[in-house]
Amino acid sequence: MAEPLKHPLAPEERVGYALVGIGKLAEEEILPALEASKRSRLAALVTSDLEDGKRLARRYGLPPEAVYGYDDYDRLADNPGVHAVYIILPNHLHEDYTVRAARMGKHVLCEKPMANSVAEGERMIAACRAAGVKLMIAYRCQYEPHHWAVREMVQQGRLGAVKLVESVHCQVESDPGEWRLKRKEAGGGPLVDIGVYSLNTIRFVLGLEPVEVFAQTYATPDDPRFREVEEQMGWQMRFGNGVLAACLTGYSAFRSSRYRLYAEGGWVGLDPAFDYRGLRLSLGREEGGQQVVEERRFPAPNQFALELDHFARCIQEDLTPFTPGEEGLQDLRLVEALYASARTGRPVRLEAPDKPDAFRGERP
């Protein structure tokens, strides 16, 4: 990873973000991350609750006129202090708010998953390209030091050739009314919400794309939570170099967030892997005929601040983000292939690019 700025930029030199969608993630994670950042600043809030928005504006030093309702979203075009929007809305709204931001000349940082379909993702990329603005998907794990340490260990061959990968990401969703359990709003079940962390991070660590996927889903009969989306999915990915990956995700099992890669000379992984903080990297290898397990520790900066500042740097220096729209689009292609496999009960073959990191931009 590149060396971070030693000193924060002055407020007037920073990229101004409008946060679009002020829910739990925005209030508990992203607003504090903007305070911890070095290149970014809060410039506006877009919310359905104007009074709550004004409360947060006071807390973070914004004037009340910097709080917008969704009906006023397009007025951001008249705010020169807003250089980019960070879209933190339900998945089915990502395309509309991205396309409208592009038309306003605002750069777009969009939460994952990028959209509910490949077609939506393609339109988002096309709109940003036509408007000359940048589009980045918020894959925070690709900006975090522990994940980069695993990636470098794997890609430099320090444990020999990787042969197998496993990952589990599950949690309990107990509210049948949760939008993540509605197909129209979410686009799918745990695969697109939390399973995508396993999918995306394995691609990132290996730097490669799968050539074949196979998936199975299950939903408990008569459980009101899973009338529209899967309860759980298990899937396999085969890569062109022979690596096999096995992943599990679900909405009715106790929280787990981990992955591990098995190589000829040892294994390495994170547990927890996808949490906002407290990540732990473990490494196992043989010494003197016995397996030795050690934990590697790294500084743990704010993950959201890292991705915000990377996008800000890309805007300031006219660089392609490390996780551009094309990276999000590739995940959507794989998601659609996995659902197709689950429906048919058959593997789905895929075209994989010849070069590593085919869909990524400038290293963070």
User: Do 226 and 181 form a contact (C-beta atoms < 8 A)?
Assistant: yes
The neighbouring-strand residues paired with 265 are none
Catalytic residue among 17, 73, 139, 197: 197
Sorted by sequence, the CB contacts under 8 Å of residue 344 that are 6+ apart come out as none
Catalytic residue among 17, 112, 134, 339: 112
Active site residue 112: yes
Counting Cα atoms < 13 Å in the Cβ hemisphere of 199 gives 29
Among left, alpha and beta (phi > 0; psi -120 to 50; other), residue 207 is: left
| Token representation of residue 146 | 């522990």
Sorted by sequence, the CB contacts under 8 Å of residue 308 that are 6+ apart come out as 17, 30, 33, 34, 37, 39, 40, 86, 109
End-to-end CA distance of the chain: 6
Q: Which CA distances in Å does 363 have to 65, 249, 305?
A: 36, 29, 16
| Token representation of residue 347 | 């593997």
Q: How far apart are CA 44 and CA 16, in angstroms?
A: 8
Q: Which residue has the tokens 């959201």?
A: 304
Q: How far apart are CA 61 and CA 43, in angstroms?
A: 10
Active site residue 54: no
Which residues have a catalytic role annotated?
112, 197
